[in-house]
Structure 1
Amino acid sequence: MPLKIYQLIILLMSAAASAAAQNNQLKGHVLTSDGASAEGVTIVLGKHNTTTDNKGNFTLRNIKAGTYQLVASFVHHQPIEQTIRIAEGETTMVELRLEWNKEELEAVLVSAKKSNYNVVSLDPTLRIQGKPLEIAQNIQIVSNRTLQSQQIISMSDGVLKNISGAMRQEHWGDLYTNVKMRGGQLHAFANGFNMVTSPWGPLTEDMSIVDHIEFVKGPAGFMLSYGDPAGFYNVVTKKPTGAERGAIDFTAGSFNLMRIAADYDGVLGKNGKILYRMNAAAQKKGSHRPNEFNDRYTIAPVMKFKLNDRTQLTAEYNLQLANMSDVGSYYIFSPTGYKTLPVETTQLPAGLPATKIADQRVYLQFEHQLSENYKLTAQTMYNSYNSKGSSLWPEAINSDGTYIRSAGIWDTKSTLTMMQAFINGESYTGNVRHRILAGIDAGEKKYYADWTKTHRLDTSTWNPLTQSGSLPTAGYPDWDRSEPLEQRATLGGGTNFVNYSGIYIQDELGFLNNNLRITIAGRYTSFSQAMYGGAALKVDKITPRFGISYSITPSTSVYGVLDQSVIPQTGLMADNSKVKPITGTNTELGFKRDWAGGSWSSTLAVYRIVRRNELTADPNSPPNSGRSVSLGEKTALGVELDIRGTLATGLHLIANYAYTENYVSKVTPGVTAFAKGQQIPGFAKNTYNATVRYQLPVPALKGIGAQASFSYLEGRSTYSLTNDPSRNMEDYHRMDAAIFWENHQFGVQLQCYNLFNQYLYTGGYYDFLNSYYWQTEPRRNFRLSVHYNF
């Protein structure tokens, strides 16, 4: 939209709003009984309401002149009231002093955060301001309390049952999490940075360092339009809180699981200017398949320096070390169908050298309060990832199900260097509120992989039914790694180089006492990517964003959003034309409501995502030519419902449902690999998830409770492209159950996974192997955890 038109729209809206509203304001400061600033206090004046910021300040605008009762309230405390008179055309100032001190206030804040299943605020790394209720975007948050209560220890360990429509495409066990949703693969973010360097990464975060996980559905151009139109998930790591506390968790379970994690949070010195947090974990873990293991070691120190009242610097280091069995061992194969081999079948022989991984991340974040209403944030991160190992894969599958096992070298290395700087805040033009976000970001990503060498493990055919896990008759591989990995990867075509930069601006305009919010934004992205030894593809793209959100009541809102994204791709066009990037457009409508004062929330959304320009093999060229044509168009549409929070004292619920229709909507003439209306692989049409946790209210049984979870995936398509519906997977049913006892200091929980002992799997069909492939989940198994706060 041209700038002059944009300015004219704002001017007209401002004039209309000014004619209908008054410019009367109330500004206040809330103190505790011992004179400290009180954060998070709810302020209500007639139909106006807000909460105090971290300095105890609040502002209410556009108040009709008159006399009111001002009410200040805080969780578990008696509210206080004060009579306020608002004069015409003036700003009224007020100071309130609560009846409880700073220590009591902080204790309640820490307690509320610990027990909260419904997070009602967004992390600053998402850059946007306001409550999730007010934002024209579907954002679902998995809280730390949810992770703890479900005994989740890694990103691939059941997180997705808490999000509508999210599915994990199994690949390489716990190495990384491939999240499918809304017709695409979500990009993996960490603390606001896009961590994706290849289709195989990044390494999953150990939950010992994770505070919460934000799932942003749709392109979300305010973060990074270079990504899949389905959205992304943002893993937010733990930061210092200023509270002196610690925790130790011990977990033991089936398949020789032994794990310990520690969390220390505190302040250095007497002036409270230096805060620290240290998280560490060590894990030994086996598998329901023989010879598999996944040992992890994690350490994450964080320091926050309060340089002055307006400026702070946070430095964070994450180190994750993994020692795991061959990454391809999780697959099993059969030409006759899924579930035709026992759950514990494995092609992995004992003694095959382990895959070793080292993932290091450094974050630096600088925050400066420019004024009362505007803040500058500049942050950078560096990631170094190295792995050395192998991947098992059959050369061919015989009609009787036998094959020769083959191990391929799988050494990888990647580095990511990224930076961001942005300003956000609020200001007013007359009675129109502006929530401004403007910033820049840039990054460089380098990825190298050597997959060029293979070694046959067997001298004759191997039978998975009778020789599961047997030793290799042809011996173990001994690959030549004398050349640097970068050189081996370059010669073998296993490279991916990415450079990008972007600039964006977003304005959320608030009208009618900020009940009507209109978002207008745009982003310019410059991107260059060279994959598999090919020439670099350069893309310069402007992606607009338009959203509208309206608060029907203070706890109910509706929204709509139109957003775009761009995904670069490489290839050689059959007509020698320039390769175009994949573009995605998301159109979405939604309804949000907070219930019982925010104790629980619900979101209902309907969406339509269109992906264009995706490449496929040229049907009129030889198969080995490497020439491509544009497929045409893919469309994903669906309905999603998410409910989460505390329904009553001791009763917590997380429930969701999603209907997903994902199909080819247009086909380029001559393309035969796809047909119009064909279902896109890797999704379920209907997904249902629910987790109920209940703690008994009986005083004599205080702290005792039970938890149950179920997941049901209906209409699962195969994870590989096929026109044969008989190759689709059967429906998925899983039930987990737990009993627990906890108080403010101790907690003990025993959990049973796959309670009904089902044969659970995910997989697909490979035409080039003429075989089904799948990965199994363990049958009934248990996990016991003990938690101690100090």
Structure 2
Amino acid sequence: MPSSPFARSAVLAAGVSIMVLALTGAGSAQERAVTLDTLSVEGSGAGNGTGVGNGRRAPETARGPVDGYVATRSATATKTDTPIIRTPQSISVVGADQIKAQGSQTLSEAVRYTPGIYANQFGPDTRLDWFLIRGFSATGTGLFRDGLQLFQTSFANFRVDPFGAERIELLRGPAATLFGGSPVGGLINIVSKRPTLEPLRYLELGGGSFDQRYAAFDLGGPVDESGHWFYRLTGRFQNGNAQVNFAPEDRYYIAPSFTYKPDGATTFTVLTSFQRDETGGAGQFLPYAGTVRNNASGFRIDRKLNASDPLIDRYTRNQANLGYEFEHHFDDVWTVRQNLRFSFLEVTDQRYIPFAYGNAAQTNLSRYGFLTTPRAGLFTVDNQAQARFNDGYFGHTLLMGVDYKRYSLSDNQASTFPVSSLNVLSPRYYQSSARPTPYLVMDQQLQQTGLYAQDQVALTERLTFLIGGRQDFVRSDVQDKLFGASTPSLNESAFTGRLGLIYNFDNGFAPYVTYGTSFNPTPGFDAAQKPFKSESGEQVEVGAKFQPVGWNSFFTVAAFDLERSNVPTPATALTGRQIGAVRSRGFEASATANLAEGLNLVASYTIYDLKNVKTDNADELGKVPVGIPETLASLWADYTIPLGDLKGFGFGGGVNYVGRSFADVANTLKVSEYVTFDASVHYDYVGWRAAVNILNVGDRRFVSSCSTDFSCFYGTQRKIVASVSYKW
């Protein structure tokens, strides 16, 4: 068989095409002339409401609510409102109903039951969400909101409150053909709550572990009697503590939005959000000896230990997003859209960080002081033109677009070395230190312009071929303001493409094959002060989706072979050189189903083989990159009694398994596998809902991962949250 992924994909695609055409017959031109009415039905911006009157819910659209757990449409993989069963790539959707049922309060918690993803790699970090998709990090460039990237680098990190999400969509595999720079493993797209056609009134109060208390509200509906203006106001305010001592975890989030529909063909929606986070104790860098295994004194460090100091430990973030979505249908063929957003954030992050033991008994942690105050601005705009037509032989959904991104970062980092040590058995706090000395003061600007085209071709009523290509132009500028060194600009261009083929049988079974390439602009610069070159990647994926006729369920399986190239390896990152390649081969399976009235189930399984296939260090060749588990499995079920005296009473439970990972590049230090359990109990009655959700019911002590032998991170402790809500 051909050795290159492209050749393997071409042979596989040709084989599937011949097989399917043989099954269906060539047919005449008239018989092959099909439409895409069942392939892509665009939803208007305001058509994402909670109902259409008479107790009926509006038909699902790619930007609207998911009815229960089982989503049927998405726009993340294609940028068109397409049935998931007709999309030749792996995608999972977590709707607002599932987020509520599982009591998810962070994005990481909301996606923990989907395949291919490992969230909270560094524990329940109060600063941001961390994601690994198919073994590769998607934290920096894999977070999208409403189809536009929330690009983040250095310590300038965006965070999205899941209460503001209508749905969370996880796309696995390359997405650069439509989105430009993005991780080869996949991305997460959060679809914001939008104005509703019908009046919406929702209030929620809750609290629980670590002195947490919160209030949330969700209001929306029409503004005028003519039906042209609609609004939504969503907010959540939280006060409490993190799971480590002396660390607050406060958040203030509000998201006003409105929609203007002058007629049935035009929709203009303004989406805004403002968020402030105040926390501390984030990034508890702890030693392998003392967390994964006992230290020299024979014990393990308390999970609640704050290895920093409340005197200086603080993290604040102010972030704002202001944007709009415009859509206009000229006729039955042509539709144009423009999505635009400006995002801004400023961060202050100050703490003490352990880096070694200071005595032979391994009871004292040597520490240094760290301070960073980054400010970042991000402007993104995506212009699209879509045509749905039939050429007499085949049906087409043709998408053409031009997008532009401009990211500006003012990065300031300082340190104090060393500061006072900390005794883990008898910690003394409120220890002052010298003022941190700057070691990095840098301004960076990244600009990316992309031109893309995609065609979803209905070759027959059942066989769909997807082809897309994109040309990107990237310019990166770095200005060293501390030493005043001259830094040359880096200009790059990259072409990425995607081919996909899917066949839909009448019984709901849909095998598919896809091949895609990606590139990803890499923040930072090398030892010569020259910006890093972009990473690249490619993937072959073969899978099948099954949506049984008459069932409210969705099942998927997928096998993939992907490679990420031009990666800084641990041996070269310190010297500012960029070489290396990592390959991930694996298998995923998932099930989302409403098995009976009131009974919902979500299950997933992931296994892959991750290896360094190119590196400048022979000791790393063939080894698994640190901190990445290669086996994941989960199961969640929830039941609400539909009839009788106990109608409305329900309960649920889940289990998550995470396989072992490694703490060093030589793969000699192992981080153990672990299993955690979740549970919930709830009662619904005439608009009221009372619920109790528990994460890590058994309070299992585990380490999420280690990135070195002195950078290990405890996982989530038992977390109980009770809530009462009313919807009218």
Deviations 1:719-757 (CA, angstroms, capped at 9, x unpaired): xx42043x2210111001111111451111112221122
The aligned residue for residue 3 of structure 2 is: none
Q: Does 1:680 align with 2:617?
A: no
User: Counterpart of 2:671?
Assistant: 729
Following superposition, the deviation at residue 211 of structure 1 comes to 0.8
Q: How far is the alpha carbon of 1:380 from its aligned partner?
A: 0.8
Q: How does 1:550-589 map to 2 (within 5 A)?
A: 550-553=503-506, 555-569=508-522, 572=526, 581-589=534-542
- Of 379-388 and 535-544, more deviation after overlay is shown by 535-544
Worse-superposed segment, 448-457 or 651-660: 448-457
1:148 aligned counterpart, secondary structure: helix
Q: SS of the residue aligned with 1:145? A: helix
**AA in 2 matched with 1:415:** G
* Cα offset, 1:497, TM superposition: 2.1
- The CA RMSD over aligned residues, in Å, is 3.2
- Label 1:226 to 1:108 Cα distance change in 2 as closer, same or farther (>3 A): closer
Q: Which amino acid aligns with 1:377?
A: R
Return the letter of the residue paired with 1:567.
Answer: N
Question: After superposition, what is the alpha-carbon deviation per residue over 1:665-723, rounded to whole angstroms, capped at 9, x for unaligned?
Answer: 234xxx226533111223222111111001224411101111001101123233xx420
> What is the distance in 2 between the residues matched to 1:413 and 1:49?
46
Could you tell me how far apart the structure 2 residues matched to 1:177 and 1:274 are? Answer: 35
Code of the aligned partner of 1:751: N
| Larger mean Cα displacement after TM superposition, 534-543 or 278-287 | 534-543
Deviation, 1:177, is: 1.3
CA gap 1:102/1:734 in 2 versus in 1, 3 angstroms: closer
Q: Measured at CA, do residues 342 and 553 of structure 1 come closer, stay the same or move farther in structure 2, by a change above 3 Å? A: same
Runs of 5+ consecutive residues of structure 2 not aligned to the other structure: 1-5, 7-13, 45-50, 294-299, 481-486
Change (3 A) 1:157 1:391: farther
Distance in 2 of aligned mates of 1:171 and 1:423: 42
How big is the shift at 1:314? 0.8
Matched residue, 1:409: 371
Q: Give the structure 2 partner of residue 536 of structure 1.
A: 489
- Corresponding position: 1:19 with 2:34: no
CA distance in 2, matches of 1:703, 1:385: 43
Secondary structure of the corresponding residue to residue 233 of structure 1: strand
User: For residues 473-488 of structure 1, what are the structure 2 equivalents within 5 Å?
Assistant: 473=431, 475=432
Q: How far apart, CA to CA, are the structure 2 residues paired with 1:195 and 1:436?
A: 26
Partner of 2:48: none
| 1:630 match | 579
Measured against aligned partners, the alpha-carbon deviations of 1:264-283 in whole angstroms (never above 9, x if no partner) come to: 01111110100000001110
The superposition leaves residues 397-422 of structure 1 with CA deviations (integer Å, 9 ceiling, x where unpaired) of 32433134333112111000111100
The 1:749/1:422 distance shift into structure 2, 3 A limit, reads same
Contact kept in structure 2, 1:197 and 1:446, CA below 8 Å: no
Q: Are 1:103 and 2:53 counterparts?
A: yes
Q: Does 1:284 align with 2:234?
A: no
Deviation at 1:530?
A: 3.9
Q: Mean alpha-carbon deviation: is it higher for 246-255 or for 749-758?
A: 749-758
Q: How many angstroms does 1:465 deviate by?
A: 2.0
How far apart are residue 661 of structure 1 and its match?
A: 0.8
Give the conservation status (yes or no) of the 8 Å contact 1:176–1:204. Answer: yes
1:590 and 1:217 map into 2 onto residues whose CA distance is 12
How far apart are 1:571 and its partner, in Å?
Answer: 5.2
Aligned to 2:562: 609
Moved more, 154-163 or 646-655: 154-163
Deviations 1:588-638 (A, max 9, x none): 01100113535110110000001223244788xxx98x363622x321010
Task: Look up the match of 1:77.
Answer: none
Contact 2:33 2:392 in 1 (8 A): no
Letter in 2 for 1:19: S
Q: What's the counterpart of residue 468 of structure 2?
A: 521
SS of match in other structure, 2:547: strand
Q: Does residue 594 of structure 1 match 2:547?
A: yes
The CA deviation string for residues 307-348 of structure 1, in whole angstroms up to 9 with x for no partner, is 2221121112100011112434x3333545525212222223
- For 1:427, the aligned partner's letter is F
Cα distance in 2 between the residues matched to 1:139 and 1:618: 34
- Note closer, same or farther for the CA distance 1:226–1:50 as it changes in structure 2 (3 Å cut): closer
Partner residue of 2:410 out of 445, 448, 461: 448
**Unmatched segments (≥5 aa) in structure 1:** 2-8, 28-47, 56-100, 481-487
Contact 2:466 2:499 in 1 (8 A): yes
CA distance in 2, matches of 1:52, 1:219: 24
CA drift of 1:517 comes to 0.8
| Secondary structure, counterpart of 1:162 in structure 2 | coil
Match of 1:472 in 2: 430
Distance 1:201 1:170, change over 3 A: farther
2:47 corresponding residue in structure 1: none
In structure 1, the partner of 2:687 is: 745
2:650 is the counterpart of 1:705: yes
CA change 1:615–1:756 in 2 (3 A) is closer
Q: 1:400 aligns with which of 361, 367, 381?
A: 361
> Aligned pair 1:789/2:727, yes or no?
yes
CA contact (8 A) 2:177 2:497 kept: no
Residue 353 of structure 1, CA deviation:
5.4
Instruction: Work out whether 1:144 is the aligned partner of 2:87.
Output: no
Is 1:259 aligned to residue 214 of structure 2? yes
Residue by residue over 1:153-208, the C-alpha shift from the partner in whole angstroms, topping out at 9 and shown as x without a partner, is 22133532333443332168122112002131121111111112215453221122
Q: Measure, in 2, the Cα distance between the counterparts of 1:171 and 1:753.
A: 13
Structure 1 window deviating more from structure 2 (586-595 vs 398-407): it is: 398-407
Asked if the contact 1:126–1:192 (Cα under 8 Å) also holds between the matched residues in 2, the reply is: no
Q: Distance in 1 between matches of 2:449 and 2:39?
A: 37
Separation (CA, whole Å) in 2 of partners of 1:52 and 1:172 = 39
Does structure 1 conserve the Cα–Cα contact (< 8 Å) formed by 2:176 and 2:519? no
Paired amino acid for 1:517: T
What are the superposed Cα offsets for residues 472-517 of structure 1, whole Å, 9 maximum, x if unpaired?
33x267679xxxxxxx7xx72444321000000111111222x111
Q: CA deviation at 1:580?
A: 5.1
Residues 429 and 263 from structure 1, CA distance in 2 versus in 1: closer, same or farther, beyond 3 angstroms? same
Structure with more relative contact order (C-alpha pairs < 8 Å, separation 6 or more): 2
Are 1:198 and 1:496, in contact at CA under 8 Å, matched by a contact in 2?
A: no
Match of residue 128 from structure 2: 176
* Equivalent position of 1:653 in the other structure: 601
CA contact (8 A) 2:115 2:589 kept: no
Which amino acid counterpart does residue 390 of structure 2 have in structure 1? Y
Question: Which amino acid counterpart does residue 656 of structure 1 have in structure 2?
Answer: S
Q: 1:338 aligns with which of 284, 292, 295?
A: 292
Task: Give the match's secondary structure for 2:586.
Answer: strand
Counterpart residue identity of residue 774, structure 1: C
Q: 1:222 deviation in Å?
A: 4.1
Alpha-carbon spacing, 1:114–1:138, altered in 2? closer, same or farther (3 Å): closer
Calculate percent identity across the aligned residue pairs: 17
Task: After superposing the two structures, state which structure 1 stretch, 542-551 or 672-681, moved more.
Answer: 672-681
When normalised by structure 1's length, the TM-score is 0.80
C-alpha displacement of 1:425: 3.4
Which stretch shows the higher mean deviation, 163-172 or 197-206? 163-172
* Alpha-carbon shift at residue 252 of structure 1 (Å): 0.9
Aligned amino acid, residue 113 of structure 2: K
Query: Aligned to 1:223, what secondary structure does the other structure show?
Result: helix
Q: Distance in 2 between matches of 1:356 and 1:227?
A: 27
Out of 204, 213, 228, the position equivalent to 2:159 is: 204
Instruction: Determine if contact 1:585/1:609 at 8 Å carries over to the other structure.
Output: yes
Q: Secondary structure at the match of 2:80?
A: coil
Separation (CA, whole Å) in 1 of partners of 2:491 and 2:40: 46
Q: State the distance in 2 between where 1:418 and 1:216 align.
A: 20
Q: CA deviation at 1:583?
A: 1.4
Provide the secondary structure at the position in 1 that maps to 2:112. helix
The answer to whether the 8 A contact 1:17-1:432 is kept is no
Distance change >3 Å, CA 188–CA 129, structure 1 → 2: same
Equivalence for 1:424: 386
Residue 394 of structure 1: SS of its match in structure 2?
strand
